[in-house]
Structure 1
Amino acid sequence: MKKIGMLILTVVLVFGIGGNAMAERAGGTFNWIAPYGGDFHNLDPHISARTNDYLALINMNRGLYRWNPDTNQPAAELAETVDVSDDGLVYTYRLRKNVKFHNGRNLTADDVIWSFNRIMAKETASPCARYVRIVKGAKEMEAGTAETIAGIQKIDDYTVEITLDDPIDPGFPLCHPCTAILPKEEVEKKGEGFGVDPIGCGPFQFVRWEKGSVMEMTKFPGYYENEKPYLDKLVYHIMPEGAARDVGFRSKELDATLVGSAQYPAYQKDPEISQNMVEVAEMFTRHMGFNTNFKPFADKRVRQAINYAINEDLIIKKFIKNKAYPAVSFLPTTSPAFDTGAKGYGYDVEKAKQLMKDAGYEQGFEFTCIATSNKSFGAAVVEALIPFLKKINVTVKPQLLEGAALSEKVFKTADFDAYIWSVESGPDPLQALNRWKSSNPRSAGNLVEYNNPEFDRLLDAAGKERDPAKKAGLLKTADGIFKDDAPLWFFNYNKAIIAHQPWVHGIKPVAVEHMFQDFTSIWVDAASPRATQK
């Protein structure tokens, strides 16, 4: 049995947060934003599928795991210790005994079991089910052939045993905000009303939600991390427009903001703002996918030629205003399995021409690329490719579609020559690469119907490998094979940027989604106009 221990902050002076330092960090209000859409949708984490909702939910709730931006890995959260069986299938969680819900009740093993069963219940139809399917018996409950998840057992009031179908790290799926542990009595009492008046066990508790305007939370005094959170109040302003966020930030009404491509160049030149920006390569890979049923794209050399023919660095610099990182392969630079020694295709027109000639397409061809109106990976980017591809006698025509229509084509009908889009490439590198496994159908994410037996073999071996370093090595090799086969044009990884006021401390680079800022340790100093008066 392997034991994963959790370090608890007992020697606070080592971290500089004892005594006076703690007092100086305490208090104040933080004005934050919800930039993804015109409002929040539903504050029941088991029901919501919206990123905007998750921004708030990560600060109201807690799950078995929480993403740790310092290690770029998931970390156990509600458990003091986690024991893992030698075969990697059974995880035993010994829960903290000082976790309270916002209604004052202690969290127990029953809450963990009930929450996971609720997620997998057929009648719940939770979009979060895909993260819990790793548990033995979860699929059966989802299908309605079992009343509970067989793989979750209560050992005692503060111990839960979870058996998995396969020996994977459950931290990656179970750190998602939607897998939060909720209090059964509150959910059942409020029904659908729980989505507008939630109760969690996180550092902040819900106060009010003015539709289309603001959401307010206050510090939960019963939170289990001693003296945290530092802030007294956290206020989300619903601001989907970059221009409005810019005005709010420059006027110092906002303590931090998400930086859009329109504001990024100006912020870089600003002597103060430029010193207070936190950037990260998010785990999303923007790319063009080739349909190999379209004859020219069945030839690997043609796909490679397109990668060599396009100067993505220039497009990123001139068109996206440097708000992206050039893609080396599918896995982003922040992935635990990213190969730091790998290089992208680079811009080499002569090599592209030779590959086209070798493939019998020296005279070129024409294809259509379906795209949305997204400024960073949409139809306008396809138009920017036209002069590059003309140099190898290839003509590309963008076809503008709504997001739902594009999704229908790439996931179901395969009615396209190529598409341009952005898909998740983390946090779990094995799960990210499994998207392209030959046994994975188009409907489940293999959008180009990629098929390479050696790639599949490496992923199977990585799935069984328990040694982290060896597992990462297998995944790096698989990612390299995928890059060489070039089923995609590898464009970029999103560069997400948060700008903050100089009085703000603790913003972290969160690669899974930069806006998933956990405010437990974020604080404002006395220079803030919203600081607590000492």
Structure 2
Amino acid sequence: MSSGQLSRRAFLGAFALGTRPAVAPTAPPAKPAATSVSVAGTAPAASGQPKSGGTLTAGKLGDVANLDGHYWSPNAGLHVWLAYDTLARYDANFKPQPQLAESWEVSSDLKQITVNLRKGVTFHSGREFTADDVVWNLQRALNPKVTVGIITGFFGQDPTFTAKDKYAVVLQTAQPWPTVFDMFHVVNMLDKENTDVASNAQTKAVGTGPFVFQEWRQGESMRFTKNKNYWQTGKPYLDEIIVNVRKDAQALVADLESGASQLVYAISLQDFVRLKSDANYNAQFLTPPAGMYQIQPNVTFKPLDDKRVRQALNYAIDRKRIADTLLLGLVAPQDLPWPASSPAYEQAKNNLYAFDLDKAKSLLTQAGVSNLELDFVHAPTLPEYATIAQIYQADLAKIGVKLNVKSMDIAALFDVIHSQKYNGFYTLNDSWTAMEPASTISVGASLNPKINNAGFKDAQYTELAAKAAAEPDAAKRKELYSQLNDYILDQSFGMTIAPTTSRVVAKKSVNGLEFRFNDVMYFGNVWLS
């Protein structure tokens, strides 16, 4: 298969029919398999041609947890991901486009992928990027101690990686790997000579990306400068990006309206709607949603190990109120994480846990639970989290459940949820839902059967997820997704509330901004007019 010519779903459909996709590099783009997949992910074009120069000052809520390019941190790409490239990147129609991989060939059984690398690419250190670097990065990304199991989940079963020559890598798996391009899209290529192989406690961030990491002032800001030796000739356009950390959404809006920032991420929805109607700004949602608002229980903490208790607490979530009031009706409530464009989407199952405090109380009684007291932890990375906690706290109080709401910075939150040290619930959006559902399940910190923030483990769930991840036939995979949906709903170890409302507002002078399908923005094409 030649690179960048078929959409992911068209590729999978061709494979399911027993054909091997092969399209010439000059072929026109294939039509998307689902019309709802296309996105309004790029800012409206400005008149005139892109021009080089200038500093983009951006703002976001909360700091990053660390500097590791293989560690997933929900900061919309306003962090060290600016310094990295991936092997390929999906365009708006889910077609993988060449990045560090110039082309690739896939075997008819989907168990072997030969990746041909772009020549002449160098790391920010000046060292040449080669096949050995790809092998090192893919092997490192398999280590759950580094990735907390998130990026690791993008890989097929029992993968091996071999440098065929200086510019070619062979990837092999024991089972078919239908989601391989999801991995191409998200696994950053780090400079092995400037990265600790076994730890995510990095002090450097050295990649091949459009911007060079310069400084991290913890709790305050990050600074990146133009990669003058970038492999994409003439890019990036910007000379510098400064990312300022703010503690609340009001400060972000103040920065934007005063001119201190040209772009802000995750302001309040009320301000987003207000500024969207202002001709001085471009306000964008990521469409389709790349994740979901959710609440997740720690199933290792009694009595949350009892499925009936988790189901009771699932019925106590007033999703409709949260969607209609807090999220301003911009998204609909749903019990499952999938957007309508997903092959796992099932509208009929999205209202199983309609708000019902009587049913919640009855289930708690059946489980012999009374005078229950739980913690609810969250980070201030989105202004909605605190309000979700308050709504849930008030409703649970009506059935005799006390909820202690605690806010903490993102690094502290990651520490407690990754090791199940929270005595109740947390809320934090999970990403990846716009990708193939098998990837979402294998990768998401909330649904991963091997390692998840709930501490949930079950052989049946692991088996179902593994079957879906290795099933090349789209129709059969869809059947498996339906079974997984039933299982996720029944076990209630991950409680979806609604699709995410990932949002950014920028001055009209900011052009070329793009969203990727993993809730990350891409700045390589951004320019200032």
Q: Do these two structures clear the TM 0.5 threshold for a shared fold by scoring above it? A: yes
Match of 1:367 among 346, 365, 372: 372
1:532 corresponds in structure 2 to none
**What is the count of residue pairs matched by the alignment?**
477
In structure 2, runs of 5+ residues without a counterpart are: 6-23, 29-45
CA change 1:254–1:334 in 2 (3 A) is farther
Cα distance, 1:278 vs structure 2: 1.0
Counterpart residue identity of residue 35, structure 1: K
Match of 2:477 among 460, 471, 477: 471
Q: Does structure 1 conserve the Cα–Cα contact (< 8 Å) formed by 2:298 and 2:422?
A: no
- SS of equivalent to 2:334: coil
Paired with 1:291 and 1:131, the residues of 2 have a C-alpha distance of 23
Verify: 1:345 aligned to 2:355, yes or no.
Answer: no
Cα distance, 1:401 vs structure 2: 5.0
Q: Does structure 2 conserve the Cα–Cα contact (< 8 Å) formed by 1:329 and 1:479?
A: no
Which structure's relative contact order is higher, taking Cα pairs within 8 Å and 6+ residues apart?
Answer: 2
Alignment of 1:131-530 (within 5 A): 131=151, 134=155, 151-168=160-177, 169-176=179-186, 179-182=188-191, 184=193, 195-196=203-204, 199-206=206-213, 212-213=220-221, 215-220=223-228, 222-229=229-236, 231-241=237-247, 242-261=249-268, 264-270=269-275, 271-272=277-278, 276-280=282-286, 281-289=289-297, 291=299, 298=306, 300=308, 304=311, 306-318=313-325, 320=326, 322=328, 325-333=331-339, 336-339=342-345, 341-342=347-348, 344-345=350-351, 353=358, 365-372=370-377, 374=379, 381-385=388-392, 388-389=395-396, 394-400=399-405, 416=423, 418-422=424-428, 424=430, 426=432, 427=435, 429-434=437-442, 440=449, 444-445=451-452, 447=454, 449=456, 451=458, 453=460, 458-468=464-474, 470-513=476-519, 516-525=520-529
CA change 1:290–1:373 in 2 (3 A) is closer
Cα distance, 1:481 vs structure 2: 3.8
Verify: 1:91 aligned to 2:135, yes or no.
Answer: no
Paired with 2:393 and 2:162, the residues of 1 have a C-alpha distance of 58
Percent of aligned pairs with the same amino acid: 18
Q: Give the number of the structure whose alpha-carbon radius of gyration is greater.
A: 1
Deviations 1:311-361 (A, max 9, x none): 32223444x453984552342428844406345327856x66468669965
Paired with 1:213 and 1:292, the residues of 2 have a C-alpha distance of 37
Q: Does structure 1 conserve the Cα–Cα contact (< 8 Å) formed by 2:439 and 2:469?
A: no
Cα distance, 1:103 vs structure 2: 5.5
Cα distance, 1:440 vs structure 2: 4.4
In structure 1, runs of 5+ residues without a counterpart are: 13-20, 139-150, 526-534
- TM-score relative to the length of structure 2: 0.72
1:78 corresponds in structure 2 to 100
- TM-score relative to the length of structure 1: 0.71
Cα distance, 1:84 vs structure 2: 2.1
Paired with 1:366 and 1:274, the residues of 2 have a C-alpha distance of 53
CA change 1:252–1:409 in 2 (3 A) is closer
Counterpart residue identity of residue 62, structure 1: D
2:13 corresponds in structure 1 to none
Q: Does structure 1 conserve the Cα–Cα contact (< 8 Å) formed by 2:316 and 2:392?
A: no
Paired with 1:292 and 1:109, the residues of 2 have a C-alpha distance of 42
Paired with 2:55 and 2:360, the residues of 1 have a C-alpha distance of 55
Cα distance, 1:480 vs structure 2: 3.9
CA change 1:520–1:357 in 2 (3 A) is closer
CA change 1:483–1:30 in 2 (3 A) is farther
Paired with 1:439 and 1:507, the residues of 2 have a C-alpha distance of 31
Q: Does structure 2 conserve the Cα–Cα contact (< 8 Å) formed by 1:430 and 1:463?
A: yes
After TM superposition, the structure 1 stretch with the greater mean CA deviation from structure 2, 381-390 or 473-482, is 381-390
CA change 1:84–1:359 in 2 (3 A) is same
Deviations 1:169-210 (A, max 9, x none): 333345335x314274x779xxx99945x5532223456667
Paired with 1:137 and 1:116, the residues of 2 have a C-alpha distance of 12
Q: CA RMSD in A?
A: 4.7
Counterpart residue identity of residue 430, structure 1: A
Paired with 2:454 and 2:350, the residues of 1 have a C-alpha distance of 22
Cα distance, 1:371 vs structure 2: 1.1
